[in-house]
Structure 1
Amino acid sequence: MAGSEKESVLPLSRIKTIMKSSPDVSSISQEALFMTGKATEMFVQNLARISLVESKDKNNVLYKDLAEVVNSDDTLQFLQDIIPKKILAREYFEKLSKLSDEET
């Protein structure tokens, strides 16, 4: 691979640390590390691109834009715990109260 192809925006040392945190992973080749980093970069770029298209502000991607895309796209449901929709504390406490009322 050419030198410019090996450059990564994400720190590969962090990606390696995350990959090694899995008990099933014993060793990671440089190629696997690079490809995982590249796939992650492409995923984040795609998520940002989709969020920008859905955004009212066509110059910036806001947190609410990301949260809206994550919550509306079934393939991104795995991110709902990481990028939840923002709600007011009042709304949270109302939902919490309803849940506790249902349990009793």
Structure 2
Amino acid sequence: MDQKAQGSLPPVIGVGTPVAYPAAAAAAVPYQAYHHLYQQQQQQQNQQLQMFWADQCREIEQTTDFKNHNLPLARIKKIMKADEDVRMIAAEAPVVFARACEMFILELTHRGWAHAEENKRRTLQKNDIAAAITRTDVFDFLVDIVPREEGKDEGIPRPMGAPATDPLAYYYVQQ
């Protein structure tokens, strides 16, 4: 064989000779890149939730008109009276409950939207809300009410070592 032909042949490796596999090294890079992207996404979602709660606190402090509501007070009062132990309800109670319900719905929707964006979708679906409930410990009371559809789970796989629950733990931002 001539020298040019020998230069193009792979080197002969003896038994017991360590071999570096470039494919294994290359596989670690996408995992690291994915893990970094995952961390950035979680930090962004955490910042969005902090801003959400800061805005909610600011809005509550600045509220002076308690007559306009997004949820019907009569329906809230009716639900409150459904409990046989409740006899009388102060006029302020349905107003406070209405605001609390609005905040609850907003946070649940916000967390569901974050799940939809993780899956690169712009449409909020039932499984997004179910994922938000599953990932957040505070929403555990809803697990039986909104069951997760296992067959339609489009969740991105979590990197090794990532928590199974929502890294955006429920918190209250104090002023």
1:10 — aligned with what?
71
2:139 — aligned with what?
76
Q: Displacement of 1:57 after TM fit?
A: 4.5
2:129 — aligned with what?
66
1:27 — aligned with what?
88
1:86 — aligned with what?
149
% identity of equivalent residues = 32
Structure with more contact order per residue of length (Cα contacts < 8 Å, sep ≥ 6): 2
Q: TM-score, normalised by structure 2?
A: 0.45
Letter in 2 for 1:11: P
Q: Displacement of 1:72 after TM fit?
A: 2.2
Count matched residues: 87
Query: Larger C-alpha radius of gyration, 1 or 2?
Result: 2
Alpha-carbon distance between aligned partners in 1 of 2:89 and 2:140, rounded to the nearest angstrom: 28
* Structure 2 unpaired stretches of 5+: 1-62, 152-175
Runs of 4+ in 1 over 6 A off after TM superposition: none
Q: TM-score, normalised by structure 1?
A: 0.73
Q: Displacement of 1:64 after TM fit?
A: 0.5
Query: Root-mean-square deviation (CA), in Å?
Result: 1.9
